[in-house]
Amino acid sequence: MFIDIPNELETDLIDRPLPPWELDGSFLAQSSMEEYRTELAATPRFEEIAATLRHALTGEGGGYAVLRLGNLAKALSGVRFQRLVTGFAAEVAVPFSPFPRWPLWKDIGVKVDKDPGKSSGIGYNAFHMDLVNGTRPPDYTTLLCVRPDPLGGGTSILSDAHAAVMRLSEDSRALLTELAYHYGTFFDLYGVGEEYKPFPILDGSDLDEGFVRFTAKMLTRSELSPPHAEAARELADELVRGQVSFMLQPGDYLIVNQRRVLHGREALHSGQETIAVSDRRLLLQLFLRARADDGSAA
């Protein structure tokens, strides 16, 4: 769902600067969330937009939303705009960084010499959930578009993981519930539990309660038994079959409910090496922890 901000709300938000945030460990401090909520709730129609956002993420048939904040991005400085977007994020869940070496918002730029399939690479980034091998992955992953690919590539792709799973055979779903999958490393992380290895792709008896712990990279970069690999490959195919795609524009803020939707990115357009680093695609990433988990997450 794409959510536009009413003109009267944009005008009031431009004139309402938010203070610098404070952190409690790697989590946005409760005092900052309360301060931001007090300021933002005083603006016209903010509560309406916040409710629409939460419904898009957690209501029936939902799982992702894009806030169209382009006018606000143009009107506000980078720091002021980040604070505003953080305020919107805090209406959904608690912002945090699982990477102690990074600030709350992490840059995702473009590196032509990076693994093409990585988030900062230039190739196809197949469907996945972030921090797939943690016992408590972020409930939401979010991306703020600062600059799209100036050459026109890098389309965002999303797919309803639950719908994809339900199109599989019972035999395949049974294989996906087994502790047979693994991917990636796990070190220097905060707020995402312990390393989960091996893990099931379907980690709950009730699909609505658990994650679909999937990354297509496991198909080529992990040693899986043939039956388990085939079941995961079938899921990958169904995710592609059900995908939606769109191009993020400057100021667009994508929020993905990781319990429902998996995400990825089409390849950037060829010729990235000809673009100055300062002009290449740039996203900022922020993770969110559902409030029901606050006590154990922090």
| Separation between Cα atoms, residue 229 and residue 234, nearest integer Å | 9
Q: What is residue 101's predicted lDDT score, i.e. its pLDDT?
A: 87
User: Is the peptide bond prior to 95 cis by the omega test (within 30 degrees of 0)?
Assistant: no
Domains delineated in the chain: 2-292 (3.60.130.10)
Q: What is residue 1's predicted lDDT score, i.e. its pLDDT?
A: 87
Residue matched to tokens 């803020």? 253
For β-strands 64-68 and 252-257, DSSP reports them as antiparallel
| Separation between Cα atoms, residue 53 and residue 64, nearest integer Å | 9
Q: What is residue 61's predicted lDDT score, i.e. its pLDDT?
A: 87
pLDDT (tens, 9 = 90+) of the chain, 298 residues, equals 899 999 999 999 999 999 999 999 999 999 999 999 999 999 999 999 999 999 999 998 899 999 999 999 999 989 999 999 999 999 999 999 999 888 999 999 999 999 999 999 999 999 999 999 999 999 999 999 999 999 999 999 999 999 999 999 999 999 999 999 999 899 999 999 999 999 999 986 666 678 999 999 999 999 999 999 999 999 999 999 999 999 999 999 999 999 999 999 999 999 999 999 999 999 999 999 998 653 333 3
CA-closest candidate to residue 256, choices 121, 130, 108, 102: 130
Q: What is residue 203's predicted lDDT score, i.e. its pLDDT?
A: 81
Residue matched to tokens 């900062």? 120
For residue 105, count other CB atoms closer than 10 A to its CB. Answer: 19
Measured in Å, how far apart are the chain's first and last C-alpha atoms?
Answer: 30
Q: 161-184 burial, b for 16+ CB within 10 Å, e for fewer?
A: bebbbeebeeebbebbebebbbbb
Pair 26, 98: CB distance under 8 Å: yes
For residue 39, count other CB atoms closer than 10 A to its CB. Answer: 18
Q: What is residue 63's predicted lDDT score, i.e. its pLDDT?
A: 96
| Separation between Cα atoms, residue 14 and residue 79, nearest integer Å | 13
Provide the CB-side half-sphere exposure for 78 (13 A, CA). Answer: 6
